[in-house]
Amino acid sequence: MITLRTMTPNEFEIFLENEINEYAQWIQRAYNLSKQNAHSSATQQLSLYKYKQGLETPDHKFYIIENDQQNKIGTVVYSFNRSDNSVWLDCIEIDPLHRGNGYGNTTLKTVTESLKKQGYHHITLQVYRENKVAQALYHKHGFEQISHVMVKTFE
């Protein structure tokens, strides 16, 4: 059993820092950027654009995932696209110490069932090619791969 509760401002700052660092690593590899340029770009895109209003960012939900003992075990963040009645799953992450216990499965099931009951038509997400565990989880829950992001780096 899991519970989703709204993030506190402090938890949001930790979430944002982690998201920036993870995204910076990805764009550093994908676009062959220096670590500093990748971090600067990730900070700009996430802090100044995607989540520029923090917890008050319109059409976004920011949750902490807690287990039965009310221990934080992860985060889930999603946003709504009202024009086509869909949801973008920004982040679902189980903390490393709690992985392998079915929490990702339970969280994804809880979130998808709730959104379906609310009348949303579909959920879209992006998963890194290297994250085979997450890909398997999403396939298990009926997600289908519909595109690839491809990059050509000029020498």
DSSP assignment letter at 98: G
42/20 Cα distance (integer angstroms): 5
Collapsing DSSP to helix, strand or coil, 126 comes out as: coil
Percent of the chain clearing pLDDT 70 (strictly above): 99
pLDDT band, very low/low/confident/very high, at 149 (cuts 50, 70, 90): confident
Residue-wise pLDDT for 71-130, tens only, equals 999 999 999 998 999 999 999 999 999 999 999 999 999 999 999 999 999 999 998 888
- Cα–Cα distances (Å) from 6 to 64, 75, 102, in that order, read 6, 10, 21
Q: What confidence tier does 152 reach under pLDDT thresholds 50, 70, 90?
A: confident
Fold (CATH) for 3-140: Aminopeptidase (3.40.630)
How far apart CA 6 and CA 64 sit, in angstroms, is: 6
Residue 78, phi then psi, degrees to nearest 5: -145, 165
pLDDT of residue 130: 85
Sheet of strand 86-94: strand arrangement: 3-6, 60-66, 72-81, 86-94, 122-125
Task: Assess contact for 93 and 126: CB atoms under 8 A.
Answer: no
